[in-house]
Amino acid sequence: MAPYSCMTKPQLEAEYQKELEAYAHWKAQGLNLNMARGKPAKKQLDLVSDILTTLQTPEDCFDGSIDARNYGELAGLPCARAYWADILNCKPGQVFVGGAASLNMMFDIVSRAYTHGLLHSDRPWCKEETVKFLCPAPGYDRHFQIGEFYGAELIYIPMTETGPDMDMVEEYVKDPQVKMIWVVPKFSNPTGITFSDETIARFANLKPAAPDFSIIWDNAYSLHEFEGDYTPFPDILTLCEKAGNPDMVFEFASTSKITFAGGGISCMAASEANIEYFTGIFGVQMISYDKVNQLRHVKYLQNKAHTLEIMKLHASVMAPKFRVVADYLNREIRPLGFASWTDPKGGYFVSLDAMPGTAKRVWTLCKEAGVTLTNAGASFPYRFDPQDRNLRIAPSLPPVEELEKAMGVLCVCLKLAALEKLLGKDAI
Amino acid sequence: MAPYSCMTKPQLEAEYQKELEAYAHWKAQGLNLNMARGKPAKKQLDLVSDILTTLQTPEDCFDGSIDARNYGELAGLPCARAYWADILNCKPGQVFVGGAASLNMMFDIVSRAYTHGLLHSDRPWCKEETVKFLCPAPGYDRHFQIGEFYGAELIYIPMTETGPDMDMVEEYVKDPQVKMIWVVPKFSNPTGITFSDETIARFANLKPAAPDFSIIWDNAYSLHEFEGDYTPFPDILTLCEKAGNPDMVFEFASTSKITFAGGGISCMAASEANIEYFTGIFGVQMISYDKVNQLRHVKYLQNKAHTLEIMKLHASVMAPKFRVVADYLNREIRPLGFASWTDPKGGYFVSLDAMPGTAKRVWTLCKEAGVTLTNAGASFPYRFDPQDRNLRIAPSLPPVEELEKAMGVLCVCLKLAALEKLLGKDAI
């Protein structure tokens, strides 16, 4: 196989006919496969289902003298706050433990910023003429969606292999209308890259013009290596504090990909001043989050060391799937030289750059052959990929045998769309 | 004992000295008792703790083909939607099942009304010059707090024995700035009264000027009889629909006082159009609520009939406590003729009207003797009881022997504050 760029038109035409046939072959199979969202596989959920029987009797339901079954402890059970502090290398007083979804807490922070303001806001953001959010992309679509929902102007910051383009970030935060940046610092969604120490230090040392500029540090995959050992990660709270920016960061984590995606616990870590401010505000909306599930989780996961043992179980299911993705792309696409992709060692995604101008077409071709991918462009602010080339691959849900088929389809579609482009064909 | 109103000044002075002594006696005991919040007793929580072991294996975690442990089903597991439809006499499509706190969903509705508007809003409420909420009082302090948090003008509507003063409500809703009314229609918090059929019909047939006027129908105690059998309650959704107001009501319920106050499930019931509108909006803030806990609840509670059997267990603990409250007040206070109180057959509270102008003083006297009550005035908008007479008694948490002491203290404090008033004494 030669790169497409070295082929003559007749050779490309022959390739095109071959891929058309392969595509027809896949289509005839009537597949219904999904690589759209980062959902854990049933096998992973089964491996951690012992958590169901962690609490069995009334006596099991106490954290010291606190009855987890009753109202109270808005900021979370003390043992749950201590658990997350252990995971994130921060202090229990810097932790607020929530319900099943960390996304909901991020949303609540933004919602309250708009209607009431953050700790250092001069006024609620709804009273600002313009509010701008920095959106390193490819990034997490649901992050951008929250900003869009509140009418923030989303500014695209390119991602590099060491994190967001920090020169741009440092420049943009000089604008007092820039109020937030949204990142997944370890095993980033969807590129899978981990921010370098330099990037992290530059984040902590930002000198934003807005007194209430905030970093949404979504540490969703902090323990989620599927290849190799756990790599410790700097505590952003301490770094921000040392840099004189103690209240600038809100860190989030959850057990959605440790225990159950449909029934985990989440946390927000921030300065004690921020935790105090938001505990007051959250006290208007609720009496307490589900503390029984908090206790169930702490008894099952115990601490960071034990949680990392559980993550090995997940890795045993995840690693073979990411190998399938890499194997297919390396074998089928790499020699053709028109696409590139990331090779993460943790997290839930592979970010694939198809031939520029073909991502939407690849998505449609896959869909028509029964393979659902995350919408092309979804990883960009306003769902607009300026080069129409990025696709997010989420290989966790399907079993390996289904994933092999899905990757077979994807590779054919990548080629077909590239060949259409090169040959000036509009559609099949 | 004669009513205070029939006593001479020397007689009152003698009573005062007697109660001062009784108060000193209580104070010397160094009590630390709490009748402030409607928290279930440990005994109640123990009675329903079998729910902990309802789900034990991966196979237990399915609702049909849906794995409750994974992402998805934002509006709730189908079986959980069906369960709540059975409880509330509505359709599963009219139910959105949430997390541990129905209060949080009420808050979210108001929050989204302010920033984005409801289904029939002309504009977000933050763009309105004035937004007014009708607050029947005594009512639930946390309801009023949400309105206050968003800067709504809270309008006091007196409660009667059949519900809010509906003449006033019908008059007020002619004002297009009036956007909401907050009620607990059955075993109201704190009066314990249940709305009459006529009141309910008048609610459903309101003709509000605001197209987005909404009733927050917090049906928190729909199954919560502690004396006598369950009394069916009209379905407000159907009544509103029949009256041509299908989208005017949001009904809420939860299992906070059925299973665990610290780990239940909640629901919102509304027209299918409202459910569709809010499922879209909630989809920005989260992927799904805790479905494992939803399934755990449905398997444990099963249906309305079985849930009512479980409510009998709660009643066995609750009824004796409410009898203690009634017995003390009837014996110690009734003959003196200066106070009145409700005599509920369900719910979590007794509403007590002390001698006008003494509620705050009674609260302080109780506090100083080691008995904590809900803050005087808390049940009124802006925490302002125009007559300074109302106190909310929450007898559920303390065991009977502690409750007896707390009621002993309360009765002495009621008398002491009344006598101070009658004798023109400022303080002890």
**Tokens coding B302:** 């099963």
Which of A71, A145, A290 has its CB closest to that of B37? A71
**Tokens coding B122:** 């002309």
Q: What confidence tens digit (pLDDT) does each residue in B183-216 have?
A: 999 999 999 999 999 999 999 999 999 999 999 9
Is the pLDDT at A299 greater than 60? The verdict is yes
Which of B49, B150, B292 has its CB closest to that of A262? B292
Share of chain A above pLDDT 90, in %: 98
Return the residue matching tokens 């607050």: B135
Cα A404 to Cα A35, A191, B67, B131, B394: the distances in Å are 11, 21, 23, 57, 61
Q: What is the distance between the terminal CA atoms of chain A, rounded to a whole angstrom?
A: 23
Q: What confidence tens digit (pLDDT) does each residue in B263-285 have?
A: 999 999 999 999 999 999 999 99
The answer to whether the Cβ–Cβ distance between B263 and A293 falls below 8 Å is yes
Q: What confidence tens digit (pLDDT) does each residue in B355-401 have?
A: 999 999 999 999 999 999 999 999 999 999 999 999 999 999 999 99
The answer to whether the Cβ–Cβ distance between B58 and A49 falls below 8 Å is yes
Helix axes A78-88, A304-328, angle to 10 degrees: 50
Nearest-Cα residue of chain A relative to residue B47: A58
Instruction: Name every chain A residue with its beta carbon within 8 A of the beta carbon of B114.
Output: 115
The answer to whether the Cβ–Cβ distance between B70 and A37 falls below 8 Å is no
What topology does CATH give the domain A57-307? Aspartate Aminotransferase; domain 2 (3.40.640)
Q: What confidence tens digit (pLDDT) does each residue in B398-421 have?
A: 999 999 999 999 999 999 999 999
Is the pLDDT at B427 greater than 90? The verdict is no
Peptide bond into A190 cis (omega under 30): yes
The answer to whether the Cβ–Cβ distance between B100 and A288 falls below 8 Å is yes
The answer to whether the Cβ–Cβ distance between A107 and B285 falls below 8 Å is yes
Which of B127, B118, B242, B288 lies closest to A100, judged by CA? B288
Secondary structure (H, E, C), chain B: CCCHHHCCHHHHHHHHHHHHHHHHHHHCCCCCEEECCCCCCHHHHHHCHHHHHCCCCHHHHEECCEECCCCCCCCCCHHHHHHHHHHHCCCHHHEEECCCCHHHHHHHHHHHHHHCCCCCCCCCHHHCCCCEEEEEECCCHHHHHHHHHCCCEEEEEEEECCEECHHHHHHHCCCCCEEEEEECCCCCCCCCCCCCHHHHHHHHCCCCCCCCCEEEEECCCCCCECCCCCCCCCCHHHHHHHCCCCCCEEEEEECCCCCCCCCCCEEEECCHHHHHHHHHHHHHHCCCCCHHHHHHHHHHHCCHHHHHHHHHHHHHHHHHHHHHHHHHHHHHHHHHCCCEECCCCECCCEEEECCCCCHHHHHHHHHHCCEEECCCCCCCHHHCCCCCCEEEECCCCCCHHHHHHHHHHHHHHHHHHHHHHHHCCCCC
Instruction: Name every chain B residue with its beta carbon within 8 A of the beta carbon of A256.
Output: 71
The answer to whether the Cβ–Cβ distance between A67 and B45 falls below 8 Å is yes
Distance from CA of B291 to the nearest CA of A (A): 6
pLDDT for res A1: 75
Which of A411, A366, A416, A120 lies closest to A249, judged by CA? A120
Distance from CA of B130 to the nearest CA of A (A): 15
Q: What phi and psi values does residue A189 have, to the nearest 5 degrees?
A: -90, 115
Interface test with B, best of A116, A182, A287, A294 (most B CBs within 10 A): A287
Interface test with B, best of A74, A126, A290 (most B CBs within 10 A): A290
The answer to whether the Cβ–Cβ distance between A261 and B60 falls below 8 Å is no
Is the pLDDT at A428 greater than 80? The verdict is no
The answer to whether the Cβ–Cβ distance between A42 and B70 falls below 8 Å is yes
Distance from CA of A76 to the nearest CA of B (A): 11
The answer to whether the Cβ–Cβ distance between A45 and B290 falls below 8 Å is no
Averaged confidence pLDDT in chain A: 97
Which of B39, B55, B288 has its CB closest to that of A52? B55
Which of A290, A304, A305 lies closest to A61, judged by CA? A290
Nearest-Cα residue of chain B relative to residue A266: B290
Distance from CA of A205 to the nearest CA of B (A): 30
The answer to whether B288 and B72 are in contact (CB under 8 A) is: yes
pLDDT for res B425: 87
| Distance between CA atoms of residues A291 and B420, nearest Å | 45
Distance from CA of A378 to the nearest CA of B (A): 14
The answer to whether A155 and A178 are in contact (CB under 8 A) is: yes
Nearest-Cα residue of chain A relative to residue B51: A56
Q: What confidence tens digit (pLDDT) does each residue in B79-110 have?
A: 999 999 999 999 999 999 999 999 999 999 99
Nearest-Cα residue of chain A relative to residue B116: A150
pLDDT for res B1: 74
The answer to whether the Cβ–Cβ distance between B100 and A126 falls below 8 Å is no
Interface test with A, best of B51, B290, B348 (most A CBs within 10 A): B290
- Rg of chain B over CA atoms, in angstroms? 23
Residue ranges per structural domain of chain B: 4-45+308-423, 60-307
**Region A360-370 average pLDDT:** 98
Which of B358, B366, B360 lies closest to B406, judged by CA? B366
Beta strands at B132-137 and B178-183: parallel, antiparallel or unpaired: parallel
Is the pLDDT at B228 greater than 90? The verdict is yes
Nearest-Cα residue of chain B relative to residue A49: B58
Which of B39, B2, B7, B144 lies closest to B423, judged by CA? B7
**Tokens coding A40:** 């854990």
Which pLDDT band, with edges at 50, 70 and 90, does A425 fall under? confident
Instruction: Name every chain B residue with its beta carbon within 8 A of the beta carbon of A70.
Output: 39-40, 42, 45, 260-262
Contacts of A161 (CB under 8 A, 6+ apart): A193
Distance from CA of A188 to the nearest CA of B (A): 19
pLDDT for res A427: 53
pLDDT for res B426: 65
Q: What confidence tens digit (pLDDT) does each residue in A377-396 have?
A: 999 999 999 999 999 999 99
Interface test with B, best of A50, A57, A71, A128 (most B CBs within 10 A): A71
| Distance between CA atoms of residues A355 and A418, nearest Å | 6
CA A199 to chain centre: 18
Domain A4-45+312-423 CATH assignment equals 3.40.30.10: no
Q: What confidence tens digit (pLDDT) does each residue in B324-342 have?
A: 999 999 999 999 999 999 9
pTM of the model: 0.96
**Tokens coding B156:** 């006091």
Nearest-Cα residue of chain A relative to residue B45: A69
The answer to whether the Cβ–Cβ distance between B262 and A60 falls below 8 Å is no
Instruction: Name every chain A residue with its beta carbon within 8 A of the beta carbon of B53.
Output: 53, 56
What is the complex's ipTM, to 2 decimals?
0.96
Which of B218, B152, B157, B209 lies closest to B183, judged by CA? B218
Query: Under CATH, to which class is B60-307 assigned?
Result: alpha beta
**Region B136-145 average pLDDT:** 97
Distance from CA of A123 to the nearest CA of B (A): 14
The answer to whether the Cβ–Cβ distance between B286 and A104 falls below 8 Å is yes
Domain B4-45+308-423 CATH assignment equals 3.40.50.300: no
The answer to whether the Cβ–Cβ distance between B101 and A52 falls below 8 Å is no
CA A346 to chain centre: 11
Instruction: Name every chain A residue with its beta carbon within 8 A of the beta carbon of B70.
Output: 39-40, 42, 45, 260-262
Nearest-Cα residue of chain A relative to residue B141: A284
Interface test with B, best of A42, A49, A97, A265 (most B CBs within 10 A): A49
Distance from CA of B7 to the nearest CA of A (A): 45
Residues in chain B: 428
**Region A171-194 average pLDDT:** 97
Instruction: Name every chain B residue with its beta carbon within 8 A of the beta carbon of A220.
Output: none
pLDDT for res B30: 95
